[in-house]
A = this chain, B = another copy of it.
Protein backbone atom coordinates (compact mmCIF):
# COMPACT_ATOMS: atom_id res chain seq x y z
CA UNK A 1 0.00 0.00 0.00
CA UNK A 2 1.87 3.05 -1.23
CA UNK A 3 -0.46 5.46 0.56
CA UNK A 4 0.23 3.79 3.86
CA UNK A 5 3.94 3.76 3.20
CA UNK A 6 3.90 7.48 2.43
CA UNK A 7 2.04 8.14 5.66
CA UNK A 8 4.69 6.55 7.76
CA UNK A 9 7.76 7.60 5.83
CA UNK A 10 8.09 10.39 8.30
CA UNK A 11 6.45 9.35 11.53
CA UNK A 12 7.66 12.55 13.19
CA UNK A 13 4.68 14.39 11.74
CA UNK A 14 2.35 11.73 13.13
CA UNK A 15 4.00 12.00 16.55
CA UNK A 16 3.51 15.78 16.50
CA UNK A 17 -0.16 15.42 15.58
CA UNK A 18 -0.77 12.84 18.32
CA UNK A 19 0.93 14.92 20.99
CA UNK A 20 -0.70 18.18 19.88
CA UNK A 21 -4.13 16.52 19.74
CA UNK A 22 -3.73 15.28 23.30
CA UNK A 23 -2.69 18.74 24.54
CA UNK A 24 -5.50 20.50 22.67
CA UNK A 25 -8.02 17.96 23.98
CA UNK A 26 -6.84 18.46 27.56
CA UNK A 27 -6.21 22.22 27.61
CA UNK A 28 -8.30 23.60 24.75
CA UNK A 29 -7.10 24.97 21.41
CA UNK A 30 -6.73 28.60 22.53
CA UNK A 31 -4.82 27.68 25.69
CA UNK A 32 -2.24 25.52 23.87
CA UNK A 33 0.76 27.41 22.45
CA UNK A 34 3.14 26.40 19.68
CA UNK A 35 5.95 26.80 22.24
CA UNK A 36 4.41 24.19 24.50
CA UNK A 37 3.85 21.81 21.58
CA UNK A 38 7.46 22.26 20.42
CA UNK A 39 8.67 21.49 23.94
CA UNK A 40 6.47 18.41 24.26
CA UNK A 41 7.76 16.92 21.00
CA UNK A 42 11.35 17.97 21.76
CA UNK A 43 11.76 20.28 18.81
CA UNK A 44 12.88 23.90 18.57
CA UNK A 45 10.14 26.26 17.46
CA UNK A 46 11.65 26.58 13.94
CA UNK A 47 11.90 22.78 13.90
CA UNK A 48 8.20 22.51 14.67
CA UNK A 49 7.35 25.04 11.93
CA UNK A 50 9.08 22.74 9.43
CA UNK A 51 6.24 20.27 10.02
CA UNK A 52 3.37 22.63 10.80
CA UNK A 53 2.84 25.97 9.05
CA UNK A 54 1.18 27.52 12.07
CA UNK A 55 -1.33 26.90 14.80
CA UNK A 56 -4.24 27.62 12.50
CA UNK A 57 -3.03 24.96 10.08
CA UNK A 58 -2.35 22.52 12.90
CA UNK A 59 -5.97 21.60 13.60
CA UNK A 60 -6.62 20.94 9.92
CA UNK A 61 -3.40 18.92 9.62
CA UNK A 62 -4.40 16.78 12.61
CA UNK A 63 -7.84 16.09 11.14
CA UNK A 64 -6.40 15.34 7.69
CA UNK A 65 -3.93 12.97 9.35
CA UNK A 66 -6.82 11.24 11.14
CA UNK A 67 -8.68 10.78 7.85
CA UNK A 68 -5.49 9.55 6.11
CA UNK A 69 -5.06 6.93 8.86
CA UNK A 70 -8.70 5.89 8.51
CA UNK A 71 -8.33 5.50 4.73
CA UNK A 72 -5.08 3.52 4.98
CA UNK A 73 -5.77 1.38 8.05
CA UNK A 74 -9.51 0.81 7.81
CA UNK A 75 -11.03 1.52 4.38
CA UNK A 76 -8.19 0.05 2.30
CA UNK A 77 -8.07 -3.10 4.44
CA UNK A 78 -11.86 -3.51 4.42
CA UNK A 79 -12.04 -3.14 0.64
CA UNK A 80 -9.87 -6.24 0.32
CA UNK A 81 -12.89 -8.18 1.58
CA UNK A 82 -15.49 -8.66 -1.16
CA UNK A 83 -18.05 -10.37 1.08
CA UNK A 84 -20.20 -7.70 2.75
CA UNK A 85 -20.16 -9.35 6.16
CA UNK A 86 -16.40 -9.78 6.17
CA UNK A 87 -16.04 -6.19 4.98
CA UNK A 88 -18.16 -4.95 7.87
CA UNK A 89 -16.16 -7.05 10.31
CA UNK A 90 -12.92 -5.58 8.94
CA UNK A 91 -14.29 -2.02 9.27
CA UNK A 92 -15.26 -2.53 12.89
CA UNK A 93 -12.11 -4.39 13.90
CA UNK A 94 -9.63 -2.11 12.12
CA UNK A 95 -11.30 1.10 13.26
CA UNK A 96 -11.52 -0.15 16.85
CA UNK A 97 -7.88 -1.23 16.67
CA UNK A 98 -6.86 2.21 15.43
CA UNK A 99 -8.71 3.94 18.28
CA UNK A 100 -7.11 1.80 20.96
CA UNK A 101 -3.73 3.04 19.80
CA UNK A 102 -2.37 6.45 20.74
CA UNK A 103 -4.82 8.12 18.37
CA UNK A 104 -7.67 8.57 20.85
CA UNK A 105 -7.33 12.33 21.25
CA UNK A 106 -7.18 12.74 17.48
CA UNK A 107 -10.48 10.90 17.16
CA UNK A 108 -12.14 13.10 19.75
CA UNK A 109 -10.77 16.27 18.15
CA UNK A 110 -12.19 15.38 14.74
CA UNK A 111 -15.58 16.75 15.76
CA UNK A 112 -14.25 20.14 16.85
CA UNK A 113 -14.43 21.72 13.41
CA UNK A 114 -15.12 25.16 14.93
CA UNK A 115 -11.50 26.24 14.60
CA UNK A 116 -11.34 25.47 10.86
CA UNK A 117 -11.85 27.83 7.93
CA UNK A 118 -15.00 27.26 5.88
CA UNK A 119 -13.04 25.62 3.09
CA UNK A 120 -11.19 23.33 5.50
CA UNK A 121 -14.44 22.40 7.23
CA UNK A 122 -16.01 21.44 3.88
CA UNK A 123 -13.05 19.22 3.02
CA UNK A 124 -13.08 17.38 6.36
CA UNK A 125 -16.86 17.02 6.28
CA UNK A 126 -16.68 15.51 2.77
CA UNK A 127 -14.12 12.94 3.89
CA UNK A 128 -16.19 12.04 6.94
CA UNK A 129 -19.26 11.67 4.76
CA UNK A 130 -17.40 9.34 2.39
CA UNK A 131 -16.53 7.07 5.32
CA UNK A 132 -20.10 7.10 6.61
CA UNK A 133 -21.33 6.24 3.10
CA UNK A 134 -18.83 3.37 2.91
CA UNK A 135 -20.28 1.82 6.07
CA UNK A 136 -23.87 2.43 4.99
CA UNK A 137 -23.29 0.89 1.55
CA UNK A 138 -21.84 -2.19 3.23
CA UNK A 139 -24.96 -2.43 5.41
CA UNK A 140 -27.20 -1.88 2.38
CA UNK A 141 -25.57 -4.88 0.74
CA UNK A 142 -26.16 -6.98 3.86
CA UNK A 143 -29.77 -5.81 3.87
CA UNK A 144 -30.20 -6.81 0.21
CA UNK A 145 -28.71 -10.23 1.04
CA UNK A 146 -31.19 -10.71 3.88
CA UNK A 147 -28.44 -10.78 6.48
CA UNK A 148 -29.40 -7.64 8.40
CA UNK A 149 -31.86 -7.03 11.22
CA UNK A 150 -34.95 -5.06 10.21
CA UNK A 151 -33.49 -1.68 11.21
CA UNK A 152 -32.72 1.46 9.22
CA UNK A 153 -29.22 1.35 7.74
CA UNK A 154 -28.50 5.00 8.62
CA UNK A 155 -29.40 4.39 12.26
CA UNK A 156 -27.28 1.23 12.18
CA UNK A 157 -24.35 3.11 10.62
CA UNK A 158 -24.30 5.73 13.36
CA UNK A 159 -24.89 3.13 16.07
CA UNK A 160 -21.77 1.30 14.88
CA UNK A 161 -19.79 4.52 14.63
CA UNK A 162 -20.84 5.69 18.09
CA UNK A 163 -19.82 2.39 19.59
CA UNK A 164 -16.41 2.48 17.91
CA UNK A 165 -15.70 6.20 18.38
CA UNK A 166 -16.57 6.00 22.08
CA UNK A 167 -13.53 3.75 22.53
CA UNK A 168 -11.36 6.85 22.26
CA UNK A 169 -13.00 8.14 25.44
CA UNK A 170 -12.93 5.08 27.66
CA UNK A 171 -10.26 2.63 26.53
CA UNK A 172 -7.21 2.79 28.75
CA UNK A 173 -4.07 1.30 27.40
CA UNK A 174 -2.91 0.40 30.87
CA UNK A 175 -6.28 -1.06 31.87
CA UNK A 176 -7.01 -4.66 32.84
CA UNK A 177 -8.10 -5.59 29.30
CA UNK A 178 -5.78 -5.99 26.35
CA UNK A 179 -6.40 -4.17 23.12
CA UNK A 180 -7.10 -7.51 21.43
CA UNK A 181 -9.76 -8.49 23.98
CA UNK A 182 -11.51 -5.16 23.67
CA UNK A 183 -11.46 -5.23 19.86
CA UNK A 184 -12.83 -8.81 19.87
CA UNK A 185 -15.68 -7.87 22.20
CA UNK A 186 -16.52 -4.63 20.41
CA UNK A 187 -16.69 -6.53 17.11
CA UNK A 188 -18.94 -9.23 18.62
CA UNK A 189 -21.30 -6.59 20.04
CA UNK A 190 -21.26 -4.44 16.90
CA UNK A 191 -21.97 -7.30 14.47
CA UNK A 192 -24.49 -8.88 16.85
CA UNK A 193 -26.40 -5.63 16.89
CA UNK A 194 -26.91 -5.34 13.14
CA UNK A 195 -26.84 -8.91 11.75
CA UNK A 196 -29.61 -11.50 11.85
CA UNK A 197 -28.93 -14.46 14.13
CA UNK A 198 -28.54 -16.72 11.09
CA UNK A 199 -26.05 -14.42 9.34
CA UNK A 200 -23.94 -14.20 12.47
CA UNK A 201 -24.09 -17.90 13.21
CA UNK A 202 -23.06 -18.77 9.66
CA UNK A 203 -20.14 -16.36 9.48
CA UNK A 204 -16.59 -17.58 10.03
CA UNK A 205 -15.09 -16.54 13.36
CA UNK A 206 -12.88 -13.53 13.71
CA UNK A 207 -9.91 -15.91 13.91
CA UNK A 208 -10.29 -16.30 10.14
CA UNK A 209 -9.30 -12.67 9.73
CA UNK A 210 -5.90 -12.19 11.35
CA UNK A 211 -4.96 -9.57 8.78
CA UNK A 212 -7.77 -7.33 9.99
CA UNK A 213 -5.63 -6.48 13.00
CA UNK A 214 -2.21 -5.31 11.95
CA UNK A 215 0.57 -6.67 14.12
Contacts and interface: CB of A to CB of B under 8 A. Distances in A.
Interface residues of A, number: 37
A85 to B, nearest CB: 15
Interface string A181-215: 11001101110111001000100000000000000
Q: Is the interface of A mostly helix, strand, loop or mixed?
A: helix
B30 A30 contact: yes
Interface in A169-185: 169-170, 177, 181-182, 185
Stoichiometry, copies per complex? 2
Contacts of A192: 149, 192-194
A185 B114 contact: no
Contacts of A197: 197, 201
A208 to B, nearest CB: 18
Interface of A: 26-28, 30, 111, 114, 149-152, 154-156, 158-159, 161-167, 169-170, 177, 181-182, 185-186, 188-190, 192-194, 197, 201
